Amino acid sequence: MSEDRISDYFEGVAAKYLSAVDADPKRSRQHEIGGLPAAGFKQYLGAPDKNEEYRFKAKQIYFSDEASTPEIIEGMVTWYDCRRKKPHRRPEYRLYYYGNSVTELISEGDFLLVAKQRDNSLLMIFTPAGTTIEAQLRVFFGLPHVSENFTKGKLDSVDLILPLRLMLEDLGVSLTQANSDDEFWLEQLIKLFGGEIFPPTNAFSAYARKSIGGSVDPLGAPDQTILNWMEQEEKLFRIYERHLVKRRLKIGFGSSSDDVDGFISFSLSVQNRRKSRVGHAFEGHLDEIFKAHGLRFQQGRGKGSVTENNSKPDFIFPGFDEYRDLEFLKGNLVMLGAKTTCKDRWRQVLTEANRIQNKHLITLEAAISEKQTNEMISQSLQLVVPARIQETYSANQRAWLIGLAEFISLVKLKAKS
């Protein structure tokens, strides 16, 4: 569904595991990272002469699997010839970074991805080796093998699929680019919703599904259908959001032109709406697919839709009344959590339905690390991943994962018991 490619936003990418000289101030006081020219980065950063230094804006990010949010710094880096005072030596270009709250967290052995963006800035992402973030970055940026020397990624073959977009935007990377049909869709959205405020999520999602029409098959291909619906809604949401943000910028943020508090409040509301909307949209589209299959289920909304400790599972099959009925066979109960991205939040579903030993969680997150999926297995949590996204997981993981179609078959089988 997505028309964008990762190469629309990035010129080049390379990754390595940090050496002691790269990361440890006791081993090097220079805050320098070498080896990028070998990965072809001189064509992106240039070749400053002996009297020059090139400076680039750089978004620096440190993220671990345990952190709920990444540490992000908007800073500067310097690209220069470290042998500039030795005129008879061959140039050796290095990237100098300045100390900040991100670089204070890095350690020898951490994974580093450096990407040159189309706006002439750099993206530098640090994460401990073996994390889900590393696994995702390697899959999405074409980096099957990484060592202490920079490895060049492959961008040409990578589509900007929804899981990649969600991951990068969660890291604060803006991915907004106009496409040829944006004006058509904006006209339709304004006609339907007025062009002044956002409609309720369920109304917006319903239009996203309708706008695709018969090109999806919820009955025969639920895995692809959920992805197509989510990608279409994400596309329409960005188009409409861009229109509303432009409109608000023209209006301003209060009586004065420099209402900083008003601007910050508006910016936060935009970010919060993005985060909350995508989760509600995911649940809504799943609801439609389950109804299309004739499944009996209830969502954890409204009065009475609770389990122990006032927990509200996203989906209970066949329903909450059956769950609370101790005479109802607990082996015929199914609980499904729904999270577009898991991170450390997947553990929340473990306590949401005590009667159900083997729980299910559906996600759109790609390339979750084997460390985390092994922990899920040990906690009797079955991960449900649409078939197309399963391709980003290892062979061992794919043998364990199930798709949405398989999950639906499981629920139907239990309903017949």
Mean pLDDT, residues 14-37 taken together: 81
Is 9 known to be catalytic?
no
Cα 407 from chain centre: 23
For 358-386, the pLDDT digits (tens) are 999 999 999 999 999 999 999 999 999 99
What does the mean pLDDT of the chain come to? 89
Rg, Å, the chain Cα set: 24
CA dihedral 213, 217, 222, 226 (to 10 degrees): -10
**How far apart are alpha carbons 110 and 122 in whole angstroms?**
18
Range picked from 30-44, 86-100, 346-360 for highest mean pLDDT: 346-360
3-state secondary structure of 57: strand
State the catalytic residue, choosing from 44, 80, 97, 323.
323
- Tokens at 303, concatenated: 């009065």
Task: For the chain, list the domains and their CATH numbers.
Answer: 8-164 (2.40.330.10), 182-292 (3.40.91.80), 298-416 (3.40.91.80)
Predicted pLDDT of residue 254: 63
Residues 157 and 140 sit within 8 Å (Cβ to Cβ): no
**Range list of H helices, 252-339:** 260-292, 320-324
For the stretch 4-24, what's the b/e string if a residue is b when 16 or more beta carbons lie within 10 angstroms of its beta carbon? bebbebbbbbbbbbbbeebbe
DSSP string covering 88-152: TSPP-EEEEE---TTTTT--TT-EEEEEEETTS-EEEEEE-TT-HHHHHHHHHTT-S---SS-EE
Predicted pLDDT of residue 26: 62
For the stretch 204-243, what's the b/e string if a residue is b when 16 or more beta carbons lie within 10 angstroms of its beta carbon? bbbbbbebeeeebebeeebbbbbbbbbbbbbbbbbbbbeb
Give the bridge partners for 126, in sequence order: 62, 112
For 390-412, the pLDDT digits (tens) are 999 999 999 999 999 999 999 99
